[in-house]
Amino acid sequence: MEHTLSRFIYFTALLLLCAPLQAEVQIQPFSADYSVQYNGFKVGEMNQRLVARDDGTYLMETEAYATGIAALFTKDRVIERSVWRYHEGNIRPISYHYHYAGGRKKELEEKLDFDWEAMQVTALYKGRRSQLPLGPGVYDKQLYQLVLRHQVAQGLREFHYKVADRGKLREYDFEVTGTDQVVTPFGKVNAVRLKKDDVDLWLAEDHNYLVVKLKKVDDDDEVTSYISAKSP
């Protein structure tokens, strides 16, 4: 169970070449709490928030940790931080930091620095440094979520992103597969359903397309997170 929870907390904290955001569109700060379940049992909680800072940059931060009975077996905790700004109406990443600690597994850290003058990303993963090409439409493992939300609101149905992940540029592809009414601890919400490989994702139509449910099926194991609270 510990290994599965560790993988899911890592995955949930990650959650999601794209069309640019329109200059007049601004993504509003928010804070959202999630309940994490493993095969129907609650094993963790997660908070994700977006904060506007005085210097004109934004901080997107996700923190996930084991709770309840699961916390007796593992002290897993994941923290992700992305710093970014708007540039000509588009989200432009500046830096990214991922940190996993607390369980029996080895502590894990990943850092990204986006140099827009040199047009390259400096990636540090498991102590190994690498250089990746940088251009419009390249994001870290959190920021593509904000673009995805905006593009779903625009009515797009297929989404393709380049994401700096574990020292490489990886393709993240989603498609809209329908709409559902999702029952969550936060209440019933109308949501757009998307799919990426073995992952299903629901975005709330009446809450700026915030993630309200995420499900990942791995062999016979099912891990799901539901929104439990949000502000504003």
Instruction: Give pLDDT tens digits for 89-135.
Output: 889 999 999 999 876 668 899 999 999 999 999 999 999 999 999 99
**Over its length of 232 residues, how does the chain's per-residue pLDDT go in tens digits?**
444 445 554 455 444 333 334 434 467 899 999 999 989 888 899 999 999 999 999 999 999 988 865 554 567 889 999 999 999 888 999 999 999 987 666 889 999 999 999 999 999 999 999 999 999 999 999 999 999 999 999 999 999 999 999 999 999 999 999 999 999 988 899 999 999 998 999 999 999 999 999 999 988 899 999 999 999 9
The token pair that represents 30 in the structure block: 């928010």
List Cα–Cα distances, 149 to 17, 194, 219, 232, in angstroms. Answer: 15, 11, 29, 17
Q: CB neighbours of 170 closer than 8 A, spacing ≥ 6?
A: 162, 163, 164
Helix (H) or strand (E) holding 151: helix 143-154
Helix (H) or strand (E) holding 190: strand 187-196
Q: Whole-prediction pTM value?
A: 0.86
Residue 180, number of CB atoms within 10 A of its CB = 14
